[in-house]
Structure 1
């Protein structure tokens, strides 16, 4: 399973380019079909946001015989994030390829101490389960708590998330105003957050700010291998790139 998770993470980035593009050109306000998802990966180097990436990985894992369950996770509101809980040989693991994080392996839930993954300026800390069986994951950036989620371990069906998925397409929603592309490789990562580019390898990270829409589109086309015309179109629809993906 570790190889499957790593292959998915490295091949299908966290990104909202496809989300905005499919909405404006196809009227999509839900999840792309498996065929559309795979075509996007192959033709445009798309991936998706949490619901897209984790839902389609769930289908693959179950098809291959794994006991993988979709579960909601609470952030600022209930169930605004989706993860997989997978049972292997009596143990439970968190599998999350939709958080824009370097989770290239299943993360154990039966912890007695915090499980820490470091990537540049970021630390991702998975805490032991609480008395209700919930796991807490925190993102600490430059020593300051930035983001996180609480996993609700009850297995769910994707239809139960239709409301929150549609809610994510509102004009004021985060990924209708923010560009976020996070691409991962063995031992390094490349993230574009609006006009900021963050490159990390091990515990070292560098960042720089791109000067214009044109420079941003060119960078994404070259480094993320997405079609420049699609990226330019999405940047125009995002309108100013003033949102904060971790806000």
Structure 2
């Protein structure tokens, strides 16, 4: 198996044609292209495929087979790309607040990338459906407006958290916003996430195990497949609007190909089950 990355193929996969030198501007452009090109989701799990967080395997899946994946795959591979391009970085462990159970997942529930450039730290995340489009400077209390929402980092007793408002007006009106996840700044290794990668593929408390889905950022919105539904979201200055279309099993492969650029090698079993809250509160 090839253990070397072909950077040109990776950049072509995400549609990036600009400069790659380690600068904040280039990091933002590469990050944005990645989110607009590579779907996030759980399809492999529901095709009976086991996901192993090893870089050559991730490269083959995402770049050569033009598939998507979840955070261990997408952010894991993205960190390899940045390293090849000369970006100083470290991996971070995060815990996602599940929107279905309103509980945080266990440690190593989510993988993040922190890049160090120009004397500042930049939080990167190309492996999360509601993520920011361009990296956020690691600064507490600094709201940043992007096309898909207003994002703000906070820090309490050494634990960072990321909050999102769908529109700036909602924050101005005093709404608390949605906490997406919390994390620490301790550096991790990709192999540290292996047990949680297994957990996400089989636990009844994991959205990835319970729901067959994928999502892709669009310039002015997002498109999501889940179970037997296609959900199209458009972001506006005042918030967002959504259109949901019911799908037959026969339509799903065509939708995945036309809207997400994904052709599966094994049959997909659609699934949209309830998620069981984890037995322990984190």
Report the TM range for the smaller structure's normalisation: 0.7 to 0.9
- Which 4+ residue blocks in structure 1 deviate beyond 6 angstroms? 141-144
**Deviation (angstroms), 1:86:** 0.9
Between 79-88 and 188-197, report the one with greater CA deviation.
188-197
Whole-angstrom CA distance in 1 between matches of 2:72 and 2:111: 6
- TM superposition score normalised by structure 1: 0.80
More helix as a share of residues: 1
Partner residue, 2:109: 80
Whole-angstrom CA distance in 1 between matches of 2:131 and 2:109: 20
**Deviation (angstroms), 1:145:** 5.7
**Deviation (angstroms), 1:190:** 1.3
Whole-angstrom CA distance in 2 between matches of 1:13 and 1:223: 10
Whole-angstrom CA distance in 2 between matches of 1:228 and 1:29: 15
Whole-angstrom CA distance in 1 between matches of 2:150 and 2:120: 21
> What whole-Å deviation, never above 9, does each CA across 1:184-231 have from its counterpart, x for those lacking one?
23333212232332323332422213142223333223212222664x
Superposition pairs for residues 196-207 of structure 1, below 5 Å?
196-203=229-236, 204-207=240-243
Uncovered stretches (5+) of structure 1, i.e. residues with no partner: none
- In structure 2, relative to structure 1, the CA distance for the partners of 1:228 and 1:214 (3 Å cut) is farther
Whole-angstrom CA distance in 2 between matches of 1:113 and 1:141: 16
Whole-angstrom CA distance in 2 between matches of 1:69 and 1:87: 9
Partner residue, 2:162: 137
The 8 Å contact of residues 86 and 93 in structure 1, kept in 2 or not, is answered as: yes
> What whole-Å deviation, never above 9, does each CA across 1:17-66 have from its counterpart, x for those lacking one?
13443xx25xx3422543x4344335653121011100111111112111
* 2:184 is aligned with 1:152: yes
The 8 Å contact of residues 14 and 47 in structure 1, kept in 2 or not, is answered as: yes
* 2:63 is aligned with 1:31: no
Task: State how many pairs are aligned.
Answer: 233
- 1:154 is paired with a residue of what secondary structure? coil
Superposition pairs for residues 1-247 of structure 1, below 5 Å?
1-21=27-47, 24-25=48-49, 28-31=50-53, 33-34=55-56, 36-42=57-63, 44-75=65-96, 76=104, 77-119=106-148, 123=149, 125-132=151-158, 134-139=159-164, 148-170=180-202, 172=204, 173-203=206-236, 204-227=240-263, 230=266, 233-234=267-268, 236=269, 238=270, 240-243=271-274
- TM superposition score normalised by structure 2: 0.71
**Deviation (angstroms), 1:102:** 4.8
